[in-house]
């Protein structure tokens, strides 16, 4: 029965983890998979998370199913984080949150919902985007299209994006990255979000906003600007939120699908259908990560610890971005890679070509995605001089 099955190469991003582990170069540097690292190259459990887990261990009384929408306490904690404290949407009961196995699970719920309830509608993703967007939407049977996002000079191509959005058939779904665009690190300005809102409204397009890095760009509220602008000004919006990065709970698979509808009645209808989609995929989401997040966000003390740690991570990344560009000055390459200091979030589209990426790996043990995407959190004060020397060597 299995004779015809062909072996395929593994996921390009996840494959870098294995390749890096195998490399024996003592100076090797991992700029691959999007996981936060400290200056020692570790991805530690956050202090607030450890404290929340200690409380959970002490107070947990059952491991029973938590239901297809997940824990209400998690939804109550995440909705204001994403939509804003005192959001008019929450007041009007227009938003529903369904806990999911990570942002990926939320994306798959959204994809299956669109495929089932908006048949024939296409989905539009930025070119480039997180490669798994292609996988998830295609797996749900949705026709996938691209809109331009980066120009040949490695800059945000907002005119190209806008031109393409204006041509998209009415009712199609447009995937937008809320902040910290993966893979490029180029985010929309507030003015650009306002322009996108107008086009979405004019053309009756449905935004699906992927919010996987809240707090990693400028701040928890600042990063939510586009999400809140669209959600407060359009009748229908889909948001996929992830707690993997901002709580550092990657392996706990914690996220949610937020559906915003025109009124409470429509929200309840949509919500009932999302429960079916979740049930058919995995029945109930895993509980532990959501319990950590709600434990933290419902405690003023733990929330303060967590916000401080998140700020430390964000500040570290933004400092490293500037230091990286400075480290290239002696080689006369600071202008060429100046974009790295301007981009936001974990990733930078460096402009390094696939050939240069291959040389960095083979000759220097420096690992990044072949598109030239580097995980900035993999930079450190210690490895920046080595990185600069290596980049100069392949230029
Ligand atoms: N969306 C984007 C743009 C991402 O970079 C990621 C990264 O992991 C995800 C979604 C999925 O996040 P999660 O690990 O929570 O599934
Ligand atoms: C990445 O893009 O490296 C991260 O988002 C991890 C992943 O799942 O791909």
Q: Is the pTM of this model over 0.95?
A: yes
The strand pairing partners of 188, in sequence order, are: none
Handedness of CA 176, 350, 313, 10 (dihedral sign): positive
3-state percent breakdown (helix, strand, coil) of the chain, nearest 5? 50, 15, 40
Domain boundary among 241, 273, 298: 298
Q: For 278-300, what is the mean pLDDT? A: 98
Is 34 close to ligand 1, i.e. is its CB under 6 Å away?
yes
3-state secondary structure 166-184: CCCCCCCEEEEECCCCCCC
Tokens of 247: 């709580």
| Same domain as 290, residue 352 | no
Nearest atom within ligand 1 for CA of residue 107: 10
Catalytic residues: 130, 210, 245
Determine, yes or no, domain membership for 4: no
Question: What is 294-349 written as a DSSP string?
Answer: HHHHT-HHHHHHHHHHHHHHHHHHHHHHHHHHHHTGGGT-TTTTTHHHH--SSEEE
Q: How many Cα neighbours within 13 Å face the side chain of 387?
A: 29
Q: What is the CATH number of the domain that holds 334?
A: 3.90.1150.10
Do residues 50 and 57 touch, judged by C-beta distance below 8 A? no
Q: What is the CATH number of the domain that holds 206?
A: 3.40.640.10
Determine, yes or no, domain membership for 54: no
Mutate to test the pocket of ligand 1, among 182, 217, 226, 248 (most ligand atoms within 8 A of CB): 182
The alpha carbon of 141 and the centre of ligand 2 are apart by a number of angstroms equal to 22
Cα–Cα distance measured from residue 174 to residue 299, given in angstroms and rounded to the nearest whole number: 36
Q: For 385-394, what is the mean pLDDT? A: 97
Is 130 close to ligand 1, i.e. is its CB under 6 Å away?
yes
Question: How confident is residue 10, by pLDDT bands cut at 50, 70 and 90?
Answer: confident
Question: How confident is residue 14, by pLDDT bands cut at 50, 70 and 90?
Answer: confident
| Res. 145: pLDDT tops 90 | yes
Q: What percent of the chain has pLDDT over 90?
A: 97
Is 130 close to ligand 2, i.e. is its CB under 6 Å away?
yes
Tokens of 360: 């960095």
Token pair 């966000």 in the structure block, residue: 297
Cis before residue 183, ω within 30 degrees of 0?
Answer: yes
Closest CA to 256 of 245, 242, 270, 268: 242
Is 104 close to ligand 1, i.e. is its CB under 6 Å away?
yes
The alpha carbon of 335 and the centre of ligand 2 are apart by a number of angstroms equal to 28
| Same domain as 29, residue 73 | no
Domain that holds residue 102: 65-298
| Same domain as 327, residue 234 | no
CA dihedral 14, 18, 19, 24 (to 10 degrees): 150
| Same domain as 181, residue 221 | yes
Per DSSP, the three-state class of 376 is helix
Cα–Cα distance measured from residue 270 to residue 206, given in angstroms and rounded to the nearest whole number: 14
Question: How confident is residue 238, by pLDDT bands cut at 50, 70 and 90?
Answer: very high
| Res. 290: pLDDT tops 90 | yes
| Same domain as 143, residue 112 | yes
Question: What is 181-228 written as a DSSP string?
Answer: -TTT-----HHHHHHHHHHHHHTT-EEEEEES-TTSSS-TTGGGHHHH
| Same domain as 162, residue 242 | yes
pLDDT at 262: 98
* Counts for the chain of helices (H) and strands (E), in that order: 15, 11
Is 33 close to ligand 2, i.e. is its CB under 6 Å away?
yes
Is 182 close to ligand 2, i.e. is its CB under 6 Å away?
yes
The alpha carbon of 51 and the centre of ligand 1 are apart by a number of angstroms equal to 25
**Proximal ligand: closest to the CA of 373:** 2
Q: What percent of the chain has pLDDT over 70?
A: 100
Domain boundary among 298, 329, 348: 298
| Res. 201: pLDDT tops 90 | yes
Question: How confident is residue 22, by pLDDT bands cut at 50, 70 and 90?
Answer: very high
| Res. 9: pLDDT tops 90 | no
Mutate to test the pocket of ligand 1, among 102, 106, 175, 216 (most ligand atoms within 8 A of CB): 102
| Same domain as 343, residue 201 | no
pLDDT at 182: 97
- Would you tell me how many other CB atoms lie within 10 Å of the CB of residue 62? 7
Angle between helices 300-327 and 288-297 (to 10 degrees): 100
Determine, yes or no, domain membership for 84: yes
pLDDT at 326: 97
Cα–Cα distance measured from residue 277 to residue 108, given in angstroms and rounded to the nearest whole number: 9
Q: Whose CA is nearest to atom 7 of ligand 1?
A: 212
| Same domain as 373, residue 280 | no
| Same domain as 176, residue 32 | no
Is 182 close to ligand 1, i.e. is its CB under 6 Å away?
yes
| Same domain as 74, residue 32 | no
Q: How many Cα neighbours within 13 Å face the side chain of 56?
A: 18
Mutate to test the pocket of ligand 1, among 103, 128, 177, 375 (most ligand atoms within 8 A of CB): 103
Domain boundary among 245, 265, 298: 298
Pairing of strands 255-260, 95-100: antiparallel
Q: For 32-61, what is the mean pLDDT? A: 95
Determine, yes or no, domain membership for 305: no
Cis before residue 265, ω within 30 degrees of 0?
Answer: no
Determine, yes or no, domain membership for 79: yes
Q: How many Cα neighbours within 13 Å face the side chain of 265?
A: 0
Q: For 237-259, what is the mean pLDDT? A: 98
Determine, yes or no, domain membership for 105: yes
Cα–Cα distance measured from residue 98 to residue 363, given in angstroms and rounded to the nearest whole number: 46
Domain count, the chain: 2
Nearest atom within ligand 2 for CA of residue 369: 3
Is 13 close to ligand 2, i.e. is its CB under 6 Å away?
yes
pLDDT at 11: 85
Determine, yes or no, domain membership for 271: yes
pLDDT at 307: 98
Question: What is 49-65 written as a DSSP string?
Answer: HHHHHHHHHHH------
Determine, yes or no, domain membership for 366: yes
pLDDT at 51: 98
| Same domain as 219, residue 109 | yes
| Same domain as 152, residue 23 | no
């Amino acid at each position: 029965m299995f004779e015809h099955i062909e072996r395929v190469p593994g996921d390009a991003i996840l494959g870098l983890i294995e390749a890096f582990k195998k490399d024996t170069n003592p100076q090797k540097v991992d700029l691959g998979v999007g996981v936060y690292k400290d200056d020692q190259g570790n991805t530690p459990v956050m202090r607030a998370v450890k404290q929340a887990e200690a409380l959970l261990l002490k107070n947990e009384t059952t491991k029973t199913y938590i239901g297809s929408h997940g824990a209400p306490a998690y939804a109550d904690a995440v909705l204001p984080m994403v939509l804003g404290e005192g959001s008019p949407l929450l007041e009007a009961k227009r938003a529903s949150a369904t806990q999911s196995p990570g942002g990926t699970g939320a994306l798959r719920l959204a994809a299956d919902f669109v495929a089932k309830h908006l048949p024939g509608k296409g989905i539009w993703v930025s070119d480039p985007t997180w490669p798994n967007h292609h996988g998830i939407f295609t797996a749900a049977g949705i026709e996938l299209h691209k809109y331009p996002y980066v120009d040949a000079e490695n800059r945000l191509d907002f005119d190209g994006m806008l031109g393409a959005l204006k041509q998209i058939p009415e009712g199609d779904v447009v995937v937008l990255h809320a902040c910290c665009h993966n893979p490029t690190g180029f985010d929309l300005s507030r003015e650009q979000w306002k322009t996108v809102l107008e086009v979405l409204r004019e053309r009756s397009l449905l935004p699906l906003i992927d919010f996987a890095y809240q707090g990693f760009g400028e701040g928890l509220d600042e990063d939510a600007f586009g999400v809140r602008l669209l959600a407060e000004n359009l009748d229908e919006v889909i948001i996929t939120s992830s707690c993997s990065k901002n709580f550092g709970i990657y392996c706990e698979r914690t996220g949610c699908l937020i559906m915003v509808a025109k009124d409470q009645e429509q929200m309840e209808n949509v919500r009932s259908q999302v429960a079916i989609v979740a049930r058919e995929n995995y029945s109930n989401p895993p509980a532990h990560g959501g319990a950590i997040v709600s434990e933290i966000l419902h405690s003023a003390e733990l929330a303060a610890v967590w916000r401080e740690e998140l700020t430390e991570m964000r500040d570290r990344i933004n400092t490293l971005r500037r230091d990286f560009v400075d480290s290239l000055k002696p080689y006369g390459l600071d202008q060429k890679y100046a974009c790295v200091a301007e981009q936001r979030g974990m990733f930078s589209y460096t402009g390094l070509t696939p050939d240069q990426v291959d040389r960095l790996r083979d000759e220097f043990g420096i690992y990044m995605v072949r598109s030239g995407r580097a995980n900035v959190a993999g930079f450190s004060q210690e490895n920046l001089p080595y990185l600069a020397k290596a980049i100069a060597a392949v230029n």
